[in-house]
Structure 1
Amino acid sequence: MLSLKLPQLLQVHQVPRVFWEDGIVSGYRRPTSSALDCVLSSFQMTNETVNIWTHFLPTWFLELESPRLCKVLRTTAFAHPFLFDNLPLFYRLGLCWGRAHHCGQEALSPSHSYHLLCALLTAFLFTSHLPERLAPGRFDYIGHSHQLFHICAVLGTHFQLEAVLADMGTRRTWLAALPPALSLGGMAATLGLAVAGNLLIIASFTAALLRAPSSCPLLQGCLPEEGTRDKQQ
């Protein structure tokens, strides 16, 4: 009868420093895991299980080569759409604050306020590594900052969509009087550019993945030998 053995989990001192997370002590997956181990670990409680099931990161073999660049790319992936999506809101607030009369309530609905609050919490959790930094080892599996970061990001997206629907409802008459911003051909061209850009990103990272060596020097000699550890114990 076929039986599958779940991969062994490691402590923080057993993995290369590039994989260390502030305040996360246990529940690390082995960096040299096989493809089968990676699949099995998705159904095993590790410090990444919740994150795996909320999103998929195909750009990690890059995590080994340029961890700082990868951190910048991940941060930009959230900061860029936030700034781009909220430019109309910031513009509206700027016009309101420039007027003689107060119009903050008109410009900033409760959904907008909740969205901005969730965005601030998301950025704070991503950069502070709280609460696990205050109690290392206590939040390895549930409750660490990356999980709370995802929750705040999802809530922020929800309130952002609610704010857009509220704006469309209150400005329906004004929007109906305006000419369409893009024709059907223009919308198709915009969609085509977006799809082409995404395909280019996927192709670039896939090519980098195929070019990556089968064994990374960063991983060699980083894991302590089990025999040495047994002797020390």
Structure 2
Amino acid sequence: MATTLQLYHVSEIPSFFHELYIHRGYRHPRSSVRSCLRSCFYLHNETVNFWTHFIPAVFYLFVLVTDCYQYNLLLDAYGLPMLAYLISMTLFPTASALAHLFNTISEKARHMCFFLDYFALSIFGIGTAIAYHAYSFPVALISTWWQHLYLLVAVVNALLSFVLSCRTRFLDHGLRKKMFRILSFAVPYLFDVLPVCYRAIHGDVVDFSLGGMHYHVRQSVFAFLSALIYSSHLPERLSPGRFDIIGQSHQLFHVVSVMGTHDLMTGMRMDMLQRRQLMDAHQPSYSILLMVAVVGFNLVILYYFWMQLDGVILKSTSSEDLTKLNNLCNGAGLTNGKSGHHLIDRQLTNDVSRRSKLRPHVE
């Protein structure tokens, strides 16, 4: 059994696996499942990304189980929106951790890993909206057209968020890709948080005396910071190669977003307990069904993008990328099929070679 994990420089691996301003610490782009699992115990440029979401996922699972028993969420209809929120809150760091762990199996697996990551974020968005609607809605807006339309718009936002975030994976690195990716997450969040913003601006003294508002406000600060960190690529932008293993922006983004999620969970729980007399009579009976519907529609969307992958990978793979893959696989002894790694797809090699002969000026 190997005692070390071989890592690669950005110049050695295909461009599809590159991360902006990260130069070292890349794993083999044809890693096996076993190799990926083993890699979480070694330092590479995804190790901290994995653990900063895997540990919170385990904690959130513990919270989900304990809250179900403590607050009778399964049997009390008033607790069902909180149950939906806690499930979605547990799913998104779990999907993220697994995506960062297994994204080096192949190009197709990398796409699917992050498709599932975006899937979970979409579910988290609708789960958050369901909980806001059930526990945190302003008293002045209860039974208004705004409350009646809130969940419907949140469903549309969650679905569009998933479509747009998946679509960005087919775009080249650049400002347009970054803007669309940020918008796909920012728009649903900004809409979902509107009820709390209204309470913060127009709420009365009694509303502010409830402990949940403090956590909602602080969560908004963490959300702003996480968006800033994610979009800026700081600090690695200032010193490429220095923060490859520890300290890169995506790791900081994970930490800050988890802190914000914890505050959101705490504020939501306090609203559930302290505002029951206000909110219990206004619970819609279909809120959980909306979350199930989003899961169903997202599965259809996921299948659509899955069917696009072969063509997208062929179009984006250059002969230089194939040369790098060949060199890596030959260097790792992956030519006889006995390794746990996957060999280069022969059909992809033939298709890229044929494309290069037909259009030699295209890379």
TM norm. shorter chain > 0.5: yes
Going by fraction, where is helix more abundant, 1 or 2? Answer: 2
For the pair 1:85 / 2:83, whether they are aligned, the reply is no
Distance in 1, matches of 2:8 and 2:289, equals: 49
Match of 1:26 in 2: 24
Match of 2:214 in 1: 110
What amino acid is the match of 1:172?
Answer: R
Shift of 1:137: 2.6
How does 1:1-233 map onto structure 2 within 5 Å?
A: 3=1, 8-17=6-15, 19-31=17-29, 33-36=30-33, 38=36, 40-53=38-51, 54=53, 55=96, 56-57=98-99, 60=111, 65-68=170-173, 71=178, 74-76=181-183, 78-96=185-203, 105=208, 109-176=213-280, 178-180=281-283, 182-183=284-285, 186-187=286-287, 189-209=289-309, 217-218=317-318, 219-221=321-323
| More displaced stretch, 37-46 vs 217-226 | 217-226
Distance in 1, matches of 2:217 and 2:26, equals: 37
Q: State the Cα RMSD in Å.
A: 3.8
Q: 1:10 to 1:59 in 2, by over 3 A?
A: closer
Output one character per residue of 1:46-99: Cα deviation in whole Å (capped at 9) or x when no partner: 112232453133662778742457655643453244224312112323435xxx
Q: 1:188 to 1:122 in 2, by over 3 A?
A: closer
Distance in 2, matches of 1:201 and 1:160, equals: 28
Q: 1:28 to 1:196 in 2, by over 3 A?
A: same
**Secondary structure in 2 matching 1:112:** helix
Match of 1:231 in 2: none
Q: Is the 8 A contact 2:14 2:322 kept in 1?
A: no
| More displaced stretch, 160-169 vs 12-21 | 12-21
Output one character per residue of 1:2-33: Cα deviation in whole Å (capped at 9) or x when no partner: x45866322233345554444422112344x2
What amino acid is the match of 2:262?
Answer: H
Unpaired runs of 5+ in structure 1?
Answer: 227-233
Question: How many residues end up aligned between the 2 structures?
Answer: 215
With the length of structure 2 as denominator, give the TM-score of the two structures: 0.48
With the length of structure 1 as denominator, give the TM-score of the two structures: 0.70
Q: Is the 8 A contact 2:199 2:207 kept in 1?
A: no
Distance in 2, matches of 1:64 and 1:84, equals: 24
Q: Is the 8 A contact 1:6 1:41 kept in 2?
A: no
Shift of 1:112: 1.6
**Secondary structure in 2 matching 1:109:** helix
Distance in 1, matches of 2:169 and 2:325, equals: 15
What amino acid is the match of 1:13?
Answer: S
Q: 1:128 to 1:187 in 2, by over 3 A?
A: closer
**Secondary structure in 2 matching 1:90:** helix
Distance in 2, matches of 1:23 and 1:175, equals: 48
